[in-house]
Structure 1
Amino acid sequence: MYHNTENSAVAATQRKLKEMMNAGFIGRKKSNEGIFRYYLQTAGCYAVAQYINFEATPGHDRSFLNCSRYDRIVEKMIRDANEVDTKTGESIMLGRGALRRIKNGKFSDVDGILGVRIGKDTRMLKVYVKINAPDVVGIAKYENANKRAKQFGTKLVVVGDNFTKKSLGITK
């Protein structure tokens, strides 16, 4: 929530979060790792609907990067985003849930997108896809994600084991 900000911004964000929790817009629960996870309540979904271009859902939605750090896609996106934040500009990450809802599921064939904001310009840097096995479904998912990455002239990052990557012809 904070990243590189001043103490006053952190305090203001904490106050706003507390207000939203008291109003019933946001809930929280403690994960197995001892970290508090925040999520939208039903009232919060209605409150944010006018500000977002996808349909928010209440509850603990793993796809909005509000998940356990054991998800390999999320791990990779966070590492890449931190690199972007320190070198290029401000990173923007979209997970599975947001992508399912953007433009009526147009991006549901990928598991994540990393973009960067430099000044007023925003551009896509990487498209992520997780392939569990080199079976028919995995191959189709890879091909669709590859088409999507080429469409935007960006890099495709495949997250999977070495056998799967080798079977798909991916050397990196």
Structure 2
Amino acid sequence: HPLYGFNLNLADDTHQEYPAHNIGLSWTSNLTDSDGLVDAIREASGLHGAVPGLGMNISIGSGDLLLVAEYMGATKRFHPKDLAFREKGALPGASNLEVDCLFHLAGKKAHLAMAWQYTREALAMALPENRYLAMLAMDIHEHTTLSLEYAHDRDYPEKDGGTGDASNVLTLQLAASF
């Protein structure tokens, strides 16, 4: 299946750390070519048709505060042999709601973010149904950032084929950019 699409993004960049306003719309002719789905597709060599995808995002920033809302999902169901959910073709989607704040900590530039991520019919992609995130990052040296991230995941319920379990991950990262 040929792959084609478009991405339209409008931003009001007022030379702040965050753009004041941003809105975007994207469409792709075939979600099965995306990185997250390639491994989840059961019979990649014999797909039963392309599945288009639609994405939308909006962000509103003011000074050091940014609010973000994003969605990406299939516009039609997958064939059940390609990607299934509850014994029928999946109609996967994912959304993200996020609040970011920039500030100074101990005289260094810092970043605090909190987010809620939700997926629909994405169990076959090994994604949780709900994820709650909190992240604190600080520039500790020029081009060097130290960050701490906490994620709480809740799997799909057993009735949907998941475990219903929750998991927690704490990540400490030192990153240098060149």
- TM-score of the alignment, normalized to the shorter chain, above 0.5: no
**Relative to total residues, which structure has the larger helix share, 1 or 2?**
1
Q: Answer 1 or 2: which has greater strand percent.
A: 2
Q: What TM-score does the superposition give when structure 2 sets the normalisation length? A: 0.29
| TM-score relative to the length of structure 1 | 0.29
